[in-house]
Structure 1
Amino acid sequence: MNDQRLAKYREMRDFTRTAEPSGDGEVRATGERFVVQRHRARRRHYDLRLELDGVLVSWAVPKGPTLDPAVRRMAVRVEDHPLEYADFEGTIPADEYGGGDVIVWDRGTWDSPDEDPAAAIEAGTLHFDLHGEKLAGTFVLVRRGDKQWLLLHKKDEHAESGWDPEDHPRSVKSGRTNEEVAAAPEAMWRSDLPPSEAEIPLDTNEFRSEKRWEPPTAGELAALDELGAKGRWRLAGRDLALTNLDKVLFPGRDGEAPVTKRDLIRYHALIGPVMLPYLAGRPLNSHRFPNGVDQPGFWHKEVPSHAPDWLRRWRYEDAEPDDTQWYLVPDSVPALAWLANYAALELHAWTSRAADPQHPTWALFDIDPGSRTTFDEVLVLARLHRTAMEHLGVEARPKVTGQRGIQIWVPVEPRYTYAETRAWVEKVSKAVGGIVPELVSWAWTKQDRRGLARLDYTQNVINKTLVAPYSARPRPGAPVSVPLEWDELDDPDLAPDRWTIRTVLDRIAAVGDPFSALLGVEQRLPPV
C-alpha cells in the first residue's frame, strides 16, 4: 500500500543524484509525528507533513504556517513522502526535482479530533492539534480546489497576533539556517541503506585538516588596534561589537604588561586557523571570566540570547529539560573573536562531533598532578604513556595543559561509545600507574589522594571535556595549552606553562602544530 502511495514521489526523483530518502527501508511508525521543513527551492516555502497510515501526507505552504488566527495561508497538497523524510536536513541537487536546501524548521506530534483523519482529508476539512517546538494549538486545513487548500490557526491559548515564521529561521534539529546548511550540509541520505544507517555525516572536508581558515589581514589587525574602549570591528566579513577592550583579563607575569581583552581578541583571531580544526563541528563548553582571572569564573554552555545570528548553534536532543539545550559550535575566526569579547578565556570542545554526539573521535589521558607532584614526576608519567603508545602501535601526542599537567590525545575511529573509550583508557592508565604506584593514587577525591597524581580516565564521557589545544588558561600571563612532539618530553626547558598567548605564535611559526599529524586519523583501539 505504501509503495503505491509513494510511487509519484519516487517517479519524480533520481535517487542516484539526490540525497533524499527513497522510502524503501523499514521505519518505525508512531502515527503521531509531524514536521515542517523550510525549503529553499525555486521559491522558498514551508512543507507541512503529518504522519498518517505509514507515510507523511504533505502540503507546501508558501508563506509558512502561523499562530496568528487572523491570517489564512494558502497550502498546496503535494505527493506523500516516506517517513524517513521527517528527519531530512540537507541539500537536493539543483537539477533535481525540488533542488535546494532543506532544514527541519519544526517538529513534534499531532492529533486530531476527527475520528478518521484520512477520511477527513478526503472530505476536504481536517482539524488537528500540533505539539511542536514552534507551532502549537489547533489548526484547520480546508480544501478550496483540486490541490489548493487553506491553512489557518484557531483562536485558542496558543494563538498569537502578528506571529511570523520568518522571525524564527533556525532548524530545531541543528540550530542552523537554510543558508548555513546550503554552505556546508552536515549529512547525506543513502537510499540504498536501511533508514537507521542512511544518514551519513558529511564532515570530512568541513571539519578536518582539509578545511582552511584565513588569519586576519594586517588591515583588520590595525583596525582592532585603532578602536577605543569599544567599537565595531569587521573581521572576515562579520561585524563584531567589541566592548571593554582595555579591561585587564590576566595580570602580567615576569615583569610583562597585563593582558587585556583586546590582546585576547587579537590572539583568538591569529590562532584561529590553527585552533579551529579542534573546535569546528563540536559543541563548546566555555570558562568565562568577565572580571578577569583574579575573580572567580564560571562555566557557560548555553548560547546567550544576544549572540549574533551568524554564530552556529547546535541543539543537543538528548539533553534533560533542565540541562543545556543549545550549544555554540565555533566554525570561524570571527566566532573565536566573539568568544574572546565574551570573556570566554578557556575553550573546551566536546570529543565527539555534533553530527554524531555519541561516538567520540578522541580518547583522552589526563595526568592530573596532586599537591605534592613535581613536574619531573608528571614527565615520568608522560614518558610511560609514550612507551605504552609505542608498544600498542597507537598514534597519539602529548599536550601541556598550560597549568601543571600533561594530557595525551589519541584520535580514534568514531565507532566506539564513550563507555568503550573510557574502558580502554582506564586499562592503559592502570597499567601505567602500576609501574610507579608511589606516584599515583586512584582515590576519587583530592583530599584522599595524599597529594599524589591521578591518571584520570573519567574524562571520556559525553559533555565532559578537557581544554582545547591552544586555549588560554586563567593564570597570570595568559599561558596556553600547547601540543608537543613526543621527544619534547625530554627537553630540560619544558614547563607546563612555558608558552603564553604572546609567545606561542612564534613557536608555531618555528615548529608548526604537532597535533596536525593527528587530524583526520581514524584508528581502532588495540586490545590491552
Structure 2
Amino acid sequence: MARREVWKLAGQTVEVKNLDKVFWPAQGYTKGDLLRYYREVAPVLLPYLRGRPLTLVMCPDGIAAGCYYRRKRPDYAPDWLPYVLYNPKTRTGRVPLVLVENEAHLIWLANQAAVEFHVWSSTARDLAHPTWLVLDLDPGNATGFETVLEAARFVRKELEELGLAGWPKTSGGRGLHLLVPLEPGRYTHAQARAWAKAFAARLAQRSGGLVRLPRGATHRGEGVHVDYAQNGYGRNTAAPYSLRAKPGAPVSTPLGWDEVETGGFEPADFDLKAVPERIRRQGDPLASMREAAFRLPEL
C-alpha cells in the first residue's frame, strides 16, 4: 500500500499520500522528499507566495513522466484553499487562480504534485500594479555561469547609478533573476515592462557585448540576454525557494551580493537537500527586499 500520513498544519488536517513515489529518478528523491522540503522551507517561502496569484507546475508521476502548467484552482479543492478571480484576454469568463496564505495551502498543493510555484509580480488585492520588476539574466548555450555572475555585477552597478537596487536569486536553471521592488500602486504592468525593455537596451549598449537584448531563441549563442518579457499582466516567475522540475531537484535560491561577487558556485549546488541547511545557516538573503520600494527613473 502506498504510504500516507496525516499532517496538522495551520489549523487544518492535510492527508499526504504516495510518499514513496519517486519524483526525481536519478537521485531517487520521492514525493515525500518534496513535501518535507516545502514543509521545512515554508517560513521563508510563504512571504513570497502570500496574496499573489500562482501558476503551478504539476508532475503527477514525477519529472520524467511529464509535467504541465496549472493556473485554475482545482474544482475538488477544499473550501479553505483561497483564490482570486482573474479575467484573461484569451477567455470569456473569469478563472479562479490559486492563492497560498499558509502552510496548509502550500502542502495541500504539493500533495497534488505541484513541484514548482510561480508567482505574479502583483497581488490579489491589486492585480493591475506590480510590486516588483524582474530582470531575467538568461545565458546562451555557449555561455558559462561565471559570465552570468559577471553580467549580474554589471547590472547591479547600472541599477545603482540610477538610484535603484536589485536582489538576486538563481532561476533554478542556468540563469539569475534580479528583483527590483516597486512602490505599490504606482506602475501598471505595461509601464514596468516598458521600463525593463528600455533598461535592457541601455545595458546592451553599455556592456561591450556582455549583456544582450533577446532576439529569437534566447538560449542560443554567447552572451547573457536580459529577458524583460517576464514583466507583464499575467506573467509569472519562479518563486524564491521554489523547487524546479529539472534533473537534480534544483531550487530557485536567493543569493547575497557577496556570493555573486566572489562566485565559485553553480546553480545546481542549491538543491532539495542543500537549501534547507543553507537557510538554517544564513537565513534569507532576500528578506530585506520586502522593506524596500523604488520609483523608476526616466531612461
TM-score, structure 1 length as denominator?
A: 0.54
The alpha-carbon deviation at position 477 of structure 1 amounts to 2.8
Tell me the SS of whatever aligns to 1:264: helix
Matching of residues 44-59 of structure 1 within 5 Å? none
Question: Which residue of 1 is the match for residue 47 of structure 2?
Answer: 277
Q: 1:333 and 2:107 equivalent?
A: no
The alpha-carbon deviation at position 432 of structure 1 amounts to 1.7
The alpha-carbon deviation at position 525 of structure 1 amounts to 1.3
Question: Which residue of 1 is the match for residue 60 of structure 2?
Answer: 290
Tell me the SS of whatever aligns to 1:359: coil
**2:254 and 2:205 mapped to 1: Cα distance?**
26
Question: Which residue of 1 is the match for residue 140 of structure 2?
Answer: 370
Report the residue type matching 1:521 in the other structure: A
Question: Which residue of 2 is the match for residue 462 of structure 1?
Answer: 233
Question: Which residue of 2 is the match for residue 238 of structure 1?
Answer: 12
Tell me which of the two structures has the higher relative contact order, counting C-alpha pairs closer than 8 angstroms and 6 or more residues apart. 2
**1:269 and 1:448 mapped to 2: Cα distance?**
33
The alpha-carbon deviation at position 259 of structure 1 amounts to 1.2
**1:281 and 1:507 mapped to 2: Cα distance?**
26
More strand by share: 1
**1:456 and 1:428 mapped to 2: Cα distance?**
11
The alpha-carbon deviation at position 353 of structure 1 amounts to 0.5
Change (3 A) 1:319 1:453: same
**2:255 and 2:189 mapped to 1: Cα distance?**
25
Contact 2:200 2:213 in 1 (8 A): no
Report the residue type matching 1:417 in the other structure: T
> Per-residue displacement from partner, 1:134-159 (whole Å, max 9, x unpaired)?
xxxxxxxxxxxxxxxxxxxxxxxxxx
Change (3 A) 1:447 1:383: closer
Q: 1:379 and 2:149 equivalent?
A: yes
**2:189 and 2:20 mapped to 1: Cα distance?**
42
> Per-residue displacement from partner, 1:42-62 (whole Å, max 9, x unpaired)?
xxxxxxxxxxxxxxxxxxxxx
Q: 1:248 and 2:22 equivalent?
A: yes
Report the residue type matching 1:379 in the other structure: L
The alpha-carbon deviation at position 231 of structure 1 amounts to 4.1
Report the residue type matching 2:3 in the other structure: A
**2:213 and 2:200 mapped to 1: Cα distance?**
10
**2:87 and 2:218 mapped to 1: Cα distance?**
37
**1:306 and 1:361 mapped to 2: Cα distance?**
31
More helix by share: 2
Change (3 A) 1:450 1:293: same
TM-score, structure 2 length as denominator?
A: 0.93
Change (3 A) 1:364 1:461: same
Question: Which residue of 1 is the match for residue 161 of structure 2?
Answer: 391
The alpha-carbon deviation at position 339 of structure 1 amounts to 1.6
Matching of residues 57-456 of structure 1 within 5 Å? 229-253=3-27, 258-317=28-87, 320-321=90-91, 325-414=95-184, 415-446=186-217, 450=221, 452-456=223-227
> Per-residue displacement from partner, 1:436-459 (whole Å, max 9, x unpaired)?
453444353218954543210111
> Per-residue displacement from partner, 1:65-109 (whole Å, max 9, x unpaired)?
xxxxxxxxxxxxxxxxxxxxxxxxxxxxxxxxxxxxxxxxxxxxx
Contact 1:251 1:477 in 2 (8 A): no
> Per-residue displacement from partner, 1:393-417 (whole Å, max 9, x unpaired)?
2132111112100010000012101
**Bigger mean CA offset, 356-365 vs 393-402:** 393-402
Change (3 A) 1:413 1:492: closer
The alpha-carbon deviation at position 342 of structure 1 amounts to 1.2
Contact 1:269 1:334 in 2 (8 A): no
Contact 1:388 1:428 in 2 (8 A): no
Change (3 A) 1:251 1:451: farther
Q: Note the aligned Cα RMSD (angstroms).
A: 2.1
Q: 1:484 and 2:255 equivalent?
A: yes
Report the residue type matching 1:330 in the other structure: V
Unaligned residue ranges in structure 1 (runs of 5+):
1-226
**2:108 and 2:76 mapped to 1: Cα distance?**
12
**2:272 and 2:112 mapped to 1: Cα distance?**
17
Change (3 A) 1:448 1:402: closer
**2:196 and 2:180 mapped to 1: Cα distance?**
10
> Per-residue displacement from partner, 1:20-64 (whole Å, max 9, x unpaired)?
xxxxxxxxxxxxxxxxxxxxxxxxxxxxxxxxxxxxxxxxxxxxx
**1:458 and 1:527 mapped to 2: Cα distance?**
19
The alpha-carbon deviation at position 490 of structure 1 amounts to 2.2
Contact 2:250 2:271 in 1 (8 A): yes
Question: Which residue of 1 is the match for residue 288 of structure 2?
Answer: 517
Contact 1:282 1:350 in 2 (8 A): yes
Contact 1:397 1:410 in 2 (8 A): yes
Report the residue type matching 1:435 in the other structure: R
**2:94 and 2:20 mapped to 1: Cα distance?**
32
**1:395 and 1:436 mapped to 2: Cα distance?**
18
Alignment equivalent of 2:242, drawn from 463, 471, 476: 471
**1:347 and 1:363 mapped to 2: Cα distance?**
18
Change (3 A) 1:493 1:376: closer
Change (3 A) 1:337 1:351: same
